Amino acid sequence: NAGVMQNPRHLVRRRGQEARLRCSPMKGHSHVYWYRQLPEEGLKFMVYLQKENIIDESGMPKERFSAEFPKEGPSILRIQQVVRGDSAAYFCASSSQEFNQPQHFGDGTRLSIL
Amino acid sequence: AQKVTQAQTEISVVEKEDVTLDCVYETRDTTYYLFWYKQPPSGELVFLIRRNSFDEQNEISGRYSWNFQKSTSSFNFTITASQVVDSAVYFCALLTGYSSASKIIFGSGTRLSIRP
């Protein structure tokens, strides 16, 4: 019974490159959330998606960041033209559709920008 | 506004001591959930507990216990007879929004170091 799967676990990019982070939710879960954890800080909400829909992107930076959750396949968090400040751990969580169901977190992707 | 405050940035105690991690939250919603997560040095998030706003019963799980008090908007976490393996960063978190737009708000975390 696989939990939330994130890959890669670690990702290294040079400034200006693109980073793609993947998240496969738990089986049966249709809600996906992305959070960012900057060094020595707590997690901050970025975006909430359902299949083919962005529900809440209030925590997403206005530029260079985008997210999708297609009908088939994992959710993708995409960061274009990465900068040093993008270095962080990115966590994905998933839940079923009921409000009172907990969010289950993946192990995160650690993004390092050289 | 929704907010979670963990005033203790770092705590260091000697093994076998009891330690309490404080958490104060703010929300205007009447329906909400509170969480504690543990983040060991390996970096993953380990779910510890979830409480809903209608259940103020304290909970005990082995050496862990939680004290939820709505009157003071607090949800404190106590580790009894601490062990070195308890060393980690602990996050308190709040989930509000009785709708599809629910998101978890995390505190800034308390780094707990248990010395042998």
Question: For every residue of B98-116, which 3-state class applies, written as one string?
Answer: CCCCCEEEECCCEEEEEEC
Q: How many angstroms separate the CA atoms of B37 and A103, rounded? A: 12
Q: Do A102 and B102 touch (CB under 8 A)?
A: no
Residue A93 to residue B104, Cβ atoms within 8 A: yes
Chain B neighbors of A48, CB-CB under 8 A: 101-103
A47 to chain B nearest CA, in Å? 9
Q: Is the pLDDT of residue A114 over 60?
A: yes
Q: What is the mean pLDDT of residues A42-59?
A: 91
Percent of the residues in chain A that have a pLDDT greater than 90, as a whole number: 75
Residue B43 has pLDDT above 80, yes or no: yes
**B95/A103 Cβ within 8 A:** yes
Q: Does the pLDDT of residue B100 top 50, yes or no?
A: no
| Mean pLDDT of the residues in chain B | 91
CA distance B51 to B36: 9
More confident residue, A37 or A40: A37
Is B99's pLDDT higher than 80? no
For A55-64, A92-101, A104-113, B7-16, which range has the lowest pLDDT when averaged over its residues?
A92-101
**CA separation (Å) from A51 to A30, A82, A108?**
6, 26, 21
- pLDDT level of residue B96 (50, 70, 90 thresholds): confident
Q: How confident is the model at residue B112 (pLDDT cuts 50, 70, 90)?
A: very high
Q: Residues A65, B110: contact at Cβ < 8 Å?
A: no
Is the predicted pLDDT of residue A104 greater than 70, yes or no?
A: yes
CB B36 within 8 A of CB B25: no
Mean pLDDT of B78-106: 86
Share of chain B above pLDDT 70, in %: 95
Contact A55 B100 (CB under 8 A): yes
- The counts of H helices and E strands in chain A are 0, 11
Range list of β-strands (E), B17-100: 19-21, 24-26, 32-39, 46-52, 59-61, 64-69, 74-79, 88-96
